[in-house]
Amino acid sequence: MKTARVAYGGALHNASPHALGLQLEDGRVLPDDAVVWLPPVNVGTVIALGLNYADHVKELSKELTVRADDEPLAFLKGPGALIGHRGYTRRPADATFMHYECELAVVIGQAARQVRREDAMRHVAGYMVCNDYAIRDYLENWYRPNLRVKNRDTCTVLGPWFVDAADVPDPHALALRTLVNGQVIQEGNTSHMIHDIPALIAYLSGFMTLQPGDIILTGTPDGVVNVNVGDEVVTEIDGIGRLVNTIVGDDAFGI
């Protein structure tokens, strides 16, 4: 089952896919550009993973001090970073290299604390597409992400759908891709994660309690390039969804 959260007519609605766009719970059918799309779930803590695809590590190898046996590189995001499908992401005027990251977002469905790897998938409610932008100009300490790189307002796009875990037979066999202005730029597969979903849940729940609504962003493959104001960026994961986003400049925010 796929579900979304949207704003329409001055109210919030749950919605589902329809051949003509989407259908609100009250039965109304609307084109997908008639609503404001929100992140599909009530988001708790967002835990993002860096450098979790071997090809992406290789792509950035000249900048890294990473070993195969390193712990997962995890960091947190605040609510101001989050926007939905068809949203606008701000590219600051002083940025020289800003890139997208197509990622599988894992939504926690039940509290997890000290979870064993073999039990980890029981705690997954479902999945979403994420486009998690990074502004490389602000990197510090080699590739250890800091707030200005990865926690900027409007730079973490989620949606359009929440897909129930029962409808995804193998989340580790999903093709993903990014298109910039209609051209495929990035391609990969979730089978290439360094730390898979059970490993991530076991690792994170070993020192923090994961709560329902918490989200794990599982990293991105290679193929990241700079994006500019006016670019339309589409991130897709087979079976999960197609997430559309547009890059805008400071002037769109009145600055």
How many other CB atoms sit within 10 Å of the CB of residue 98?
A: 26
pLDDT the model gives residue 52: 86
pLDDT the model gives residue 51: 75
Given this chain, do its domains 1-38 and 39-253 carry the same CATH topology? Answer: no
pLDDT the model gives residue 67: 52
Question: So where are the chain's domains?
Answer: 1-38, 39-253
Spatial CB neighbours of 241, under 8 Å, sequence gap ≥ 6: 2, 128, 129, 159, 160, 161, 163
pLDDT the model gives residue 140: 62
The pLDDT tens digits of the residues spanning 207-248 come to 999 999 999 999 999 888 999 999 999 999 999 999 999 999
The number of C-alpha atoms within 13 Å of 125 and in the hemisphere containing its C-beta is 22
Our CA angle for 99, 156, 11, nearest 5°, is: 145
Spatial CB neighbours of 121, under 8 Å, sequence gap ≥ 6: 165, 197, 198, 201
How many other CB atoms sit within 10 Å of the CB of residue 252?
A: 15
> Per the CATH hierarchy, to which homologous superfamily does domain 1-38 belong?
FAH (2.30.30.370)
The list of the chain residues with pLDDT below 50 reads 56, 61, 142
This prediction's pTM: 0.92
pLDDT the model gives residue 63: 52
Q: Cα(205)–Cα(92) distance, rounded to whole angstroms?
A: 35
- Does residue 160 have a cis peptide bond before it, meaning omega lies within 30 degrees of 0? yes
What architecture does CATH give domain 39-253? Answer: Alpha-Beta Complex (3.90)
For residue 73, give the nearest of 198, 223, 228, 216 by alpha carbon. 216
pLDDT the model gives residue 57: 52
